[in-house]
Amino acid sequence: MVEVARICDRKGGVGADGLIRIGKGERYWFMDYRNQDGSIAEMCGNGIRVMARYLVERGHQSEGIFAIATRAGNKFLAVPAFEDISVNMGSVVEVYDEVTVSIGDLTWSAMHIEVGNPHAVVFVDDLDAIGDLKEAPEVEGDYPDGVNVEFVQFLPNGELAMRVYERGVGETKSCGTGTCAVALAASIKSKKKLPVRWIINPPGGRLVVDIDGHNNATLIGPALIIRDVELDQFL
């Protein structure tokens, strides 16, 4: 845990929202994902696309369709050599319990969405109104292992904008599982029938989420390897 936090530190380390250790089982690659603070997470929707890109780009795996095992189950990806990567994120489920999210004097009702990991989705009229998100929002709900909180705004063009506070990290520029949670929550709130496609705009860039008639989500977006780093200096 200490080593992960040191590597992910944005001042003295590499700088990252989390760390993936790649393992190899008998059938599938395994994604051992840790949050920025070293805590274990079930999986990461953006991270799994980066892992898939790394495997293909570095010659460990042929492009095409293959699976990566995670703590949230096996995820199948379509990985072309250069274009966007699609990952079947599995079932996205609304949990029918009472959830509230508070920042300072502001309190909202939230939707509890499970995407293999837990999310609280809040709809707001203006994303700027929630402030700088330097402190974790206060969440009342059934989240024994913590929760990711998404704040969402419907845009005039029919797309969605979002900001996210990730457990064990803080505000991040994007969250793959969070966009899937947001897609289901927006479908329910707007009473759209499944299947449905949402274009979602976190600060880190546009992602596409398809939800089929059985609540299975497919996350579509780019993944890019930006540099290689020797970790010995941080351990």
* DSSP annotation of 157: T
Share of the chain above pLDDT 70, in %: 100
Hey, what CATH topology would domain 93-220 get?
A: Diaminopimelate Epimerase; Chain A, domain 1 (3.10.310)
Q: Could you report the per-residue pLDDT of 95-117, keeping only the tens digit for each?
A: 999 999 999 999 999 999 999 89
- Residue 47: its pLDDT value, please? 95
Catalytic-labelled residue, pool 7, 43, 44, 139: 44
CATH number of 2-88: 3.10.310.10
* C-beta separation of 197 from 189 below 8 A: no
Q: Could you report the per-residue pLDDT of 154-195, keeping only the tens digit for each?
A: 999 999 999 999 998 999 999 999 999 999 999 999 999 999
- Residue 190: its pLDDT value, please? 97
Element (H, E) at 197: strand 196-201
Catalytic-labelled residue, pool 31, 121, 122, 175: 175
Tokens for 12, please give them: 């003295």
Q: Kindly tell me if the per-residue pLDDT of 48 is higher than 90.
A: yes
- Name, in order, each residue with C-beta under 8 angstroms of 78's C-beta and a sequence gap of 6 or more: 64, 65, 85, 86, 87
Do the first three CATH levels of 2-88 and 93-220 match, i.e. the same topology? Answer: yes
pLDDT band at 74 (very low <50, low <70, confident <90, very high): very high
Q: Kindly tell me if the per-residue pLDDT of 232 is higher than 90.
A: no
Q: Kindly tell me if the per-residue pLDDT of 234 is higher than 80.
A: no
Share of the chain above pLDDT 90, in %: 89
Clarify whether 44 is annotated catalytic: yes
Q: Kindly tell me if the per-residue pLDDT of 235 is higher than 80.
A: no
Tokens for 19, please give them: 């760390």
- Residue 25: its pLDDT value, please? 86
For the chain, give the mean pLDDT: 95
What are the residue ranges spanned by the domains of the chain? 2-88, 93-220
pLDDT band at 233 (very low <50, low <70, confident <90, very high): confident
- Residue 73: its pLDDT value, please? 93
- Residue 2: its pLDDT value, please? 82
pTM reported for the whole predicted model: 0.93
Rounded to an integer, the average pLDDT of 86-91 is: 96
Q: Kindly tell me if the per-residue pLDDT of 1 is higher than 80.
A: no
